Structure 1
Amino acid sequence: MTKSFEYADREIGSKEVSYAVSNVVIGLGILTLPASIVVATNSSDGWVSILLGGLIAIGFAWMLTRLAVRFPKQSYRDIAASLTNRPTANVLTLSFAFYTFLYVSYEVRGVSSISKLYLFDRTPVEAICFVFLLVLVYGVSGPSISLLRLNLLFFPIILLILTAVLALSAGDFDYERLKPFFVTPFPKLLIAAKETAFSFLGFEILLFYNLFVNRPKKLGKAVFIGMLMPTLVYLLVFLFVVGVFSTEVVANTLFPLAELAKQVEVPGGFFERFESVFFAVWVMSLYCTAVMAFDVTLIALQSVFPKASRMSLIFLLTPFVFLVAMQPTNLQEVRLFSEWISYLGIIVAWVFPAFLLIAAKARRVKPDA
């Protein structure tokens, strides 16, 4: 008997999970993280905070994975209903949907603001936002499985362009700019680690994409690899931008990685504006992040309101995504908006599921039960 074509199956394997987790985590945070960390720490000690934040995020990712493994092929709402009751499960799921809805709005606004700053300086932010939102609507109109497999195409390209930026910047890297080492008090490192943890939000999508995982027993390894890649990327980017620009310059730069891409010169003069290539590719990452968050919002709402069609929810939510995305009037308000969403995400997407895992352990629910 011949096996059916693998990609015709409505399931995903370990590679899709790892790529999806990495892509959704890296997103927009990598552009702003170095500046936030440098301000909160001394010298180049921010790498310690990034490592601490990564370990915290990996710890929560492990807890969410253990929860998902105990309930294979079930959505977050079904898991919560099994451990609590339907009204509580509905509240937890709707709060998660509200968080991902705000997350989509932030990503849309972030893409629009950065695109206007570096690519389309004469185009209104509203127009960029509207066009990007239309592309998101097109993406979420299809099946979720297609969006997850899109990461297999985009993520290697994103890693390639990031590697190129770092490699071409190596000539300007000065090790002396990283000194002195270990001069930041540990309490300040912990405070900065909180900022770093915000940049690791996103892996919680696995609670909903658990529906499509074909090998639940390998979910833990896939998520660990998916979280390890952003941690290493954050560390490398931070050390490079500090080594190239110094902490004083990074602290006063909105998007240090973008500025690093701007000063890159390709040997031979093949690209006069390499940052245009960088941003064109980076929009792929931001698109994947936003479209998966939008998709999770729809899955969450449909699990609570099963009679609501996917397209109806899309047309209902899209205008509100646009309106919320347009509320911040400047980049400072966009950053504040991001901070509010991050606090909400920590509570709704990390802490609440962690309590559900405790409940599952108390009820002795075993993996693959």
Structure 2
Amino acid sequence: MNDQRLTNWQAMCILIGTIAGVGVLPLPRLAVTAGESAAPLVTVGGILLGALLVMLWSLLGMRFPDLSPVAYSKLILGKWASGVLLFVIALFYLVATAFSFREFSEVTGTFVLRRTPLEVILFMMLLLVVISARKDIYSFTLIHAFYTPFVVGPVVFMMILSFSEVELLNLQPFTTNPDFTFWVGSLGITTLFRNVVIYTFIVPRMRNPQKALKVGLTGTAISGGLYLVIVITTVGVFGAEEIKRLVWPTLELGRATIIPGEFLERMDALFLVTWIISVFNSLLSGYYLILLIIKEKLGLKDHRMLATFLMPFMFLAAMMPQNVIQLYRLSTHILPWGLIAMIIIPSALLVVAGIRGKGGVAHAPDKG
């Protein structure tokens, strides 16, 4: 593994690229279903829960600045309990990442490669991710640092162009009572932040791990800000009732956006390119997280063979849903519970570590 330490900017790029993934397309519909015209408020709730997720894992990393989650979970819980915990985490991310692969394939097959079999689209993206995931963690970081501007820039540009079409009446009333449906919707939006757990493997490789919380929350704020702007713009342009009838409202927003002077009649082509890049970054983070957990738990020297070995299992898991409707139904039932677990786990680890007096001191560097 390349032992070069990562800068704050590189660590932040990993978070931004990891969060801004495939879920951006149905995002406005998820928010509208939970809050109608108050969808931006639902989104804010989801972003705050996402920030809580990042904060908890960052605090763990700061408490054990030289150890990875595999190492400090063993130190806190013991060998067997940590083994079961890591297995559950790896299994959840296997299913969650597989569903993201399938969603990407469904969108690409619907809007871009209409005559290409779904299995071919899925296999090609999976192959691209596997090849990239065979690299060391520094190369993984450089991929995110390189692509992040190509994700953030075009999205901001498209949103600026779309503001002229926003009808403020579509955003009223902008408040609502935070009932059960509201928080379920916010939790659904927080599932888009699930891959941020990869950040726990980045913290011990940062030049200054004690800044992990600040860097993590800043990266989350940038990605969350993009999500909020997308929801506000989409709801403002289409209205809540129209969005409920759209499967991928954000893509429809790209179709409705026109550059002044009709230089480019529709922005959906540019948006799809940006979306594919962001999806690749997010899928790579999810896949890489699984590899790092298994690799360090088994004590392997590298994960290149493991990356190839995991590929057929990811493919089969992605093909389990019969169609996109079943895919979203399964995602709605599985992902929120997994996310709740990802919030409870670091909370419990912090409490147990405090009770047992673990962490807060220098540890031997983790070479896994």
TM-score over 0.5 for the pair:
yes
In 1, Cα distance between the equivalents of 2:120 and 2:227?
31
Residue aligning to 1:144: 137
SS at match of 2:175: coil
Residues 1:280 and 2:289 are matched in the alignment: no
Q: Which residue, 39, 45, 56 being the options, matches 2:33?
A: 39
Cα offset, 1:184, TM superposition: 4.5
- Once the two structures are superposed, the pairs formed by residues 256-271 of structure 1 within 5 Å of their partners are 256-271=249-264
Distance 2:219 2:354 in 1: 25
Q: Any conservation in 1 of the 2:49–2:187 contact (CA below 8 Å)?
A: no
1:93 to 81, 86, 93: 86
CA contact (8 A) 1:66 1:367 kept: no
Tell me which residue corresponds to 1:353.
346
- Which amino acid letter does the alignment assign opposite residue 155 of structure 2? L
Q: Which residue of 2 aligns with 1:12?
A: 6
Structure 2 runs not aligned, ≥5 long = 363-368
What corresponds to 2:59 in structure 1? 66
Structure 2 counterpart of 1:22: 16
CA deviation after TM superposition for structure 1 residue 309, in Å: 5.0
Q: CA RMSD in A?
A: 1.9
Change (3 A) 1:368 1:167: farther
2:166 corresponding residue in structure 1: 173
Count of matched residue positions in the alignment of Structure 1 and Structure 2 = 361
* Contact 2:59–2:213 (Cα < 8 Å) also in 1: yes
Give the AA of the match of 1:203. Answer: V
Distance 1:31 1:87, change over 3 A: same
Quick check: 1:61–1:223 contact (8 Å CA) kept in 2?
Answer: yes
How many Å apart are 1:209 and its aligned residue?
2.4
How much does 1:321 deviate?
A: 0.8
Runs (5+) with no aligned partner, structure 1: 1-7
Matched, 1:296 2:282: no
Equivalent in the alignment of 2:365: none
Distance 1:170 1:103 in 2: 33
1:334 corresponds to 2:327: yes
Structure 1 residue aligned with 2:317, among 319, 324, 340? 324
2:201 is aligned with 1:241: no
Name the CA distance, whole Å, in 2 between partners of 1:221 and 1:367.
18
Deviations 1:61-96 (A, max 9, x none): 212111111111211111111111011111112222
Matched, 1:204 2:197: yes
What CA distance in whole angstroms lies between the structure 2 residues aligned with 1:366 and 1:321? Answer: 35
Deviations 1:301-321 (A, max 9, x none): 011112475232122210111
* 1:103 alignment counterpart: 96
Is 1:126 paired with 2:127? Answer: no
**Counterpart secondary structure, 2:194:** coil
Q: CA distance change for structure 1 residues 13 and 340 in 2, over 3 Å: closer, same or farther?
A: farther
Q: Among all aligned residue pairs of Structure 1 and Structure 2, give the percentage whose two residues are the same amino acid.
A: 23
The TM-score normalised by the length of structure 1 is 0.92
Structure 2 match to 1:4: none
Partner of 1:253 in structure 2?
A: 246
Cα pair 1:208 1:300 within 8 Å, conserved: no
Q: How does 1:49-60 map to 2 (within 5 A)?
A: 49-60=42-53
How many angstroms apart in 2 are the aligned matches of 1:316 and 1:193?
A: 36
Aligned residues of 2:27 and 2:250 also touching (Cα < 8 A): no
SS of equivalent to 1:64? helix
For 1:185 and 1:105, locate their aligned partners in 2 and report how far apart those are by CA, in whole Å: 32
1:349/1:181 Cα in 2 relative to 1: closer, same or farther (>3 Å)?
Answer: closer
Report the residue type matching 1:26 in the other structure.
A
CA contact (8 A) 1:30 1:257 kept: yes
Runs of at least 4 residues off by over 6 Å: none
Residues in 1 aligned to 2:285 and 2:330: alpha-carbon distance in whole angstroms = 20
